[in-house]
Amino acid sequence: MVSRLARAKINLTLHVTGQRRDGYHLLDSLVCFAGVGDQITAQSADHLSLSVEGPLASGVPTDERNLVWKAAELFGHDSGAHISLTKNLPNAAGIGGGSADAAASLLALAELWDVPLPENVLDLGADVPVCLAPMALRMHGIGEKLSLVPALPPLWAVLVNPGVALETPPVFNALTVKENPEMECVPDLQSAAEFAGWCALQRNDLQAPAIGLVPVIQDVLNALAPSLLARMSGSGATCFGLCASAEDAEILANFIRANHPDWWVVATTLS
């Protein structure tokens, strides 16, 4: 039996810098990962099967529609496996849940079967390559170009999702300007406050079109306003608030939970 944590992917910045002829958008994004995520467990079996459990398992498919299943099939391996997915992250939420699940499954199965990772993991989705190395990275192109950045300072955050699933394609379609300036080089900063100040000078170009589609995202950002920086992650609808300490993050998370008990709210670390 092999287990992997599929950590939530957070786009601290997301600059849309162009669009290819095939429709794929070009991105320049600083990505990091939260201390919370889904859980993948793989064990030997006669055939491939998938079960899903956990607080956010409702509606998650257990067949070839799930990226976890597709990740297993990508190996083209003769052996079977039973994969258990514990869903702790909301779906269609802008935090790479499906991609993180696929990446964790690839790593778990490669260890279980003692085989190398498939070469064509990008076929599973643009976010899968970065989720294979859950650390702070700069992501270029459509997600296939990854580069190292200086180590992030200690960061704490509150993640909030209003319980509204938001698919990625409509958000990109609502973006009117496709060619925008690239992100500045990531500096080597020592404190959360300094880092939040730098992040504030960068952008998420999908935030405005996402709010146009799902106005409650602005309510989430307003709720996170006491943090050092409030911004949407990915294509939404999850937003994050950077905090200076674990205590600050817990206080803000508890305040938001009390006022919005139907929202998904988590205080966590980022790295």
Active site residues: 9, 127
DSSP 114: T
Question: Structure tokens of 188?
Answer: 């080597």
- Helix %, strand %, coil % of the chain (to 5): 30, 30, 40
- The answer to whether the beta carbons of residues 183 and 202 sit under 8 Å apart is yes
Q: Name residue 227's amino acid.
A: S
- What 3-state class would DSSP assign to 41? strand
Q: Which residues is 146 bridged to in the sheet?
A: 139
Rounded Cα–Cα distance for residues 99 and 5 (Å): 12
- The answer to whether the beta carbons of residues 26 and 183 sit under 8 Å apart is no
Q: For the chain, how many residues are written?
A: 271
- The answer to whether the beta carbons of residues 2 and 41 sit under 8 Å apart is yes
